[in-house]
Amino acid sequence: MRLPPLLALMRPHQWLKNVFVFAGLVFSQSWHDADRVMQVLSAFAVFCLFSSAVYVVNDWADRASDALHPTKRLRPLASGAVSSGAAFTLAAVLLTAGIVLAGGHPVLLGLVALYMASNLAYSWRLKRVPVVDVFIIALGFMLRLFAGTTAVGIPPSRWLILTGIFAALFLGFSKRRAETFHAPASQRSVLEHYPPALLDIYVAVTMTATLMTYSLFATSPESQAQHGERLVYTVPIVIFGMLRYAYQVHRGHGEDVARDLLRDRWIVAALIAWLLVFIAPSLLVLA
C-alpha cells in the first residue's frame, strides 16, 4: 500500500534504525522500571522526529540525482509529488516537535543536535568522502545508542559500545556494497572510490570485529554475573543473522537497512529467536 506523499517523505519504515535507542534498556534489564521505559520511549520518539526531518532535507538535496535512480526516482521530491516548500514546512514541524519533546533532557537534546549537524554535513559534503561517509552513518547509530543509555541514566558498558561501533560500520559498508549492484549512471559519486573488492574487505573486517566483540561481551564476567548463560546462547543466532545479511548484500539487497532486514524471513526469525532466548526468561520470572 502506497503512503501519502508527505508521510512517505518522512520514511517511517526507517524508524526501525532507532531501535538502537533500546539497547541500553534491554541489556541493563531495566524494562521493569516504568519511568526509565518512558524516558527511552521518549528518546525513541525524538530520534524518529529528527531522523525524519533529516530524510526530508536529504531528499531535497538529492532530488536531481534520485530522479536518475531506478527506485529512488519514486520518492516524493524526486517525482514531484511534494514541492520544496511543503517539504521544508514538514521538516520545520518535525524539528520543532522534536525539540519540544527533548527540551527537558539537555543531554538528549545535545545528542540529537549533533545527529542533525553530522547529517547535514553528510548531505552537503561528507557523503562524497570515502570512509568518512560510512563513519558518519555509524555515528548516527551510536548517537541513538547513547540516547538510550547516557541520556536516561543507564551507563553503557564498554562491550556494548564496541559492539555497537563495529555493527554500525558493518551496516554502513554493507549499504555501500549493495549500492554497487546498481547501474553506474544511478550510483553515488563516492562509489567511484570504492572498488567492490575493497568494500568486501571492509564488510568482512567489520563483521568479524562485531562477532568477536559480541562474543567477548557474552562471555565476560560482567555479563555472566548479570545475565547468566543465556547471552552465550545468543551468539550462534547473531552469527547466523550477520552471515545471512551478508548473503543478502551480495544479492544486491542491503541498501535500505530497515526495509531489507524485515524482508528476509530468516533474519526476522533470528531476531525473534534472539528475543526469546535473551528476554523471555526474565519476563517469565517477573510474571
Straight-line distance from the first to the last Cα atom of the chain, in angstroms, rounded to the nearest whole number: 38
List pLDDT tens digits, range 182-202: 766 566 788 888 999 999 999
Question: What CA–CA distance (Å, rounded) separates 18 from 40?
Answer: 11
**The pLDDT value given to residue 287:** 47
150 CA to centre of own chain? 18
Question: What CA–CA distance (Å, rounded) separates 134 from 265?
Answer: 27
**The pLDDT value given to residue 286:** 47
**The pLDDT value given to residue 186:** 60
**The pLDDT value given to residue 183:** 63
**The pLDDT value given to residue 66:** 76
pTM to 2 decimals?
A: 0.86
List pLDDT tens digits, range 7-33: 888 888 888 889 889 988 888 877 778
**The pLDDT value given to residue 281:** 64
Q: Which three cell numbers stand for residue 82?
A: 511534494
Q: Say if residue 285's pLDDT is above 60.
A: no
- Compute, in degrees rounded to 10, the torsion defined by CA atoms 232, 19, 58, 183: 40
User: Average pLDDT over the chain, rounded to whole?
Assistant: 87
